[in-house]
Amino acid sequence: MYLLIPAAGSGKRMGANCNKLLLKVHSQSIIAWTLLAAEAASQIRWIGIISQPSEWHDFKAIVAGLAMTKPVEFIPGGTTRQESVYNGLQALPSEAKEVLIHDGARCLATPELFNACAIAILNCPGLIAAVPVKDTIKVVGESGIIESTPKREKLWAAQTPQGFNVQLLKQCHAEGVRQGWEVTDDAALFEKCGIQVRIVPGEETNLKVTTPQDLAIAELILSLR
């Protein structure tokens, strides 16, 4: 299975003056933990890191320090996550039929989750890891007034990895460019194009490290493993 890791984001919400994936958590950088999980996943055979070329020196040093046995390629990132994934798709080896896309900031995903998604995508066009929502969710208008309360039973929190048929995802990205769609994950492009996306049970600990509070939680979880 081929894995793309979008890693071109900034650390604004983290309050950092660098790419947040370079920040340390429990003795290793955030991106290092993500790579270690991918390295340990038996179904992953190739890894592409999508980041700004100005950061490649730092990322390459991390990869070298991990002594990765799987090939790791570096792909220029875009100005948005959507553009970065588009660039990543163009850089996939020609033989890639399916791909997993995993946010580098989700450094707590386990090898077992990577393997489960890699196996499941062989039997469907698209999937996402997700967990049922526990909180009651409110839809709130611009004035700050609650508009509705969706039924919690149908709500799931999207995670990554997300898996897709490569050709279909390329077509959906091309349509997104043509239509000017702006989405926050690739599954939304499939949805807009009318292609079914299934759920693979995610992990409660698979949080996205975005804020200093998330960093502290990740530190605790890793210390318990």
**Is pLDDT above 70 for 206?**
yes
**Is pLDDT above 70 for 185?**
yes
**Is pLDDT above 70 for 225?**
yes
Mean of pLDDT values over 108-136: 98
Tens of pLDDT, residue by residue over 8-55, are 766 565 656 778 999 999 889 999 999 999 999 999 999 999 999 999
Mean confidence (pLDDT) of the chain:
94
Mean of pLDDT values over 82-89: 96
Read off the pTM: 0.94
DSSP labels, the chain: -EEEEE-----TTTT-SS-GGGSEETTEEHHHHHHHHHHH-TT--EEEEEE-GGGHHHHHHHHHHHT-SS-EEEEE--SSHHHHHHHHHHHS-TT--EEEE--TT-TT--HHHHHHHHHHGGGSSEEEEEEE--SPP-EE-TTS-EEE---GGG-EEEEEEEEEEHHHHHHHHHHHHHHT---SSHHHHHHHTT---EEEE--TT-----SHHHHHHHHHHHHH-
**Is pLDDT above 60 for 117?**
yes
pLDDT value at residue 130 = 98
**Listed range (5-9, 21-25, 170-174, 209-213) with the worst mean pLDDT:** 5-9
Tens of pLDDT, residue by residue over 141-156, are 999 999 999 999 999 9
Domain that holds residue 82: 1-222
pLDDT value at residue 8 = 78
Q: Sorting pLDDT into bands at 50, 70 and 90, what band is 214?
A: very high
Look up the CATH number of the domain holding residue 41: 3.90.550.10
pLDDT value at residue 161 = 98
Mean of pLDDT values over 64-73: 96
Q: How many domains does the chain have?
A: 1
**Listed range (2-11, 46-55, 207-216) with the worst mean pLDDT:** 2-11
